[in-house]
Amino acid sequence: MQDVVTTKQINSPTIASGALRLFVHDCMVDGCDAFVRISSNAFNTIERDADINLSLPGDAFDLVIRAKTSLELNCPGVVSCADILAMATRYLITMVGGPYYEVQMGRKDGLISQASRVEGNLPRVNMTIDQLIAFFVAKGFNIQEMVALSGGHTIGFSHCNEFSDKIFNFSFASHVDPALNPKFAIALKKVCANFRSDHMLVTDPRTKPSWSCTPPTIRRFSLTSHVPWRS
């Protein structure tokens, strides 16, 4: 399984943040039960199709499928998708410079997944610090653990729609959130100028996904941008 994860990371350098996000979105709603396994049908819309989950990266789902296929060939019916996602996320976090931590096994894959259960069980980008603390406390986390989990946003990318209200028409007094660094805000506005009307981030050579077979350079990114932190 580790070989599958390593190969995926080499070919898709954003997979670490994608898998971590998928893992958190899975666990926050009814526990870590791998809702990735379940598809919507005419009678039920699943968690994956909830509004906040529509941007979950396909590469993360693909990683689980590839790892599951590899394991099933060697030990069919033993390792759950929930355990695969948990273990793969740990491998990837370690590979990009994050901490190593033990992962207990034995999760069972869920059989029920409902989009209606997602709202209210995942934090939103417009929450205040007090709302975030209350949200995580209700989930059984203290402030220190909340900060540690939030640190997962320091790798990967964020979608422009998640923070566009901070750089366009923020208020009558200012188009940009004054709490943002002015140069940082200008950079974000350039990157996200046409995000509602075209696929600029996919086609721009600075931001488009890399399909090169050459091992990519791992880079750390800021909480809400497509551009790396600069000192």
Residue 228 CA to residue 224 CA, distance in Å, equals: 10
Q: Go through the chain and tell me how many residues it has.
A: 231
Top-confidence residue, 159 or 123: 123
- Residues 6 or more apart whose Cβ sits within 8 Å of residue 43: none
Query: What value does the mean pLDDT of the chain take?
Result: 82
Top-confidence residue, 151 or 67: 67
Give per-residue pLDDT as tens, 184-227.
899 988 888 876 544 444 555 555 544 333 333 334 433 333 44
Top-confidence residue, 161 or 187: 187
- Buried b vs exposed e over 94-132: b needs ≥16 C-beta within 10 Å? ebbebeeeeeeeebebbeebbbeebeebebeeeeeeeeb
DSSP structure string for 151-181: GGGGSS---GGGTGGGTSS--SS-SS-TTS-
Per-residue pLDDT at 182 exceeds 70:
yes
User: In this predicted structure, which of 34-38, 67-71, 135-139 has the lowest mean pLDDT?
Assistant: 34-38
Using CA atoms, how far residue 213 sits from 8, 10, 155, 189, 209, in Å, is 11, 8, 21, 31, 12
Report the candidate in 87, 60, 91, 88 with the shortest Cα–Cα distance to residue 156: 60
Q: How many angstroms from the chain centroid is the CA of residue 93? A: 12
Mean pLDDT in residue range 160-187:
86
Residue 97 CA to residue 219 CA, distance in Å, equals: 10
Give per-residue pLDDT as tens, 88-102.
999 999 999 888 999
Residues labelled catalytic: 25
* pLDDT given at position 174: 86
* pLDDT given at position 76: 92
Residue 230: band (very low, low, confident or very high) from pLDDT cuts 50, 70, 90: very low
* pLDDT given at position 36: 66
Residue 126: band (very low, low, confident or very high) from pLDDT cuts 50, 70, 90: confident
Strand (E) or helix (H) holding 115: none
Give per-residue pLDDT as tens, 58-116.
889 999 999 999 999 998 999 999 999 999 999 999 999 888 999 999 999 988 889 99
